[in-house]
């Protein structure tokens, strides 16, 4: 199991709506995440929309992202979520996650 941290930035003016979508994530999206090794997945957000994500993956973050890329439900979710993020036009949020280097961990 590999621990992964990543950053994304949500546009400040849409933070409430973004949070609302995440209170009701589609069950088939959650099933797809589990199928591709996303475990203990959490999102944390600052007031300005800077978001830190944490997930534990089976192989690697890239392998888990690659598995999700083939999921139709993920394609729909990413298209719906793209306008919420400060990312290049035409980019998908899951292609814009900046993986962080783990420098310390304690159990």
Q: Are 106 and 7 in contact (CB under 8 A)?
A: no
Q: Which residues contact 32 (CB under 8 A, 6 or more apart)?
A: 68, 71, 73, 74
Catalytic residues: 22
Please give the Cα distance from 99 to 107 (Å, whole number).
Answer: 21
């Amino acid at each position: 199991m590999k621990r992964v941290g990543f950053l994304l930035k949500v546009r400040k003016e849409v933070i409430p709506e973004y949070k609302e979508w995440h209170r009701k994530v589609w069950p088939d999206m959650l099933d797809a995440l589990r199928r591709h090794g996303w475990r203990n997945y959490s999102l944390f957000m600052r007031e300005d929309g800077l978001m830190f994500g944490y997930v534990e993956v089976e192989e690697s973050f890239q392998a888990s992202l690659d598995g999700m890329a083939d999921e139709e439900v993920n394609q729909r979710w990413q298209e719906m979520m793209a306008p919420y993020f400060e990312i290049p036009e035409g980019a998908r949020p899951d292609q814009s996650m900046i993986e962080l280097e783990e420098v310390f961990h304690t159990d």
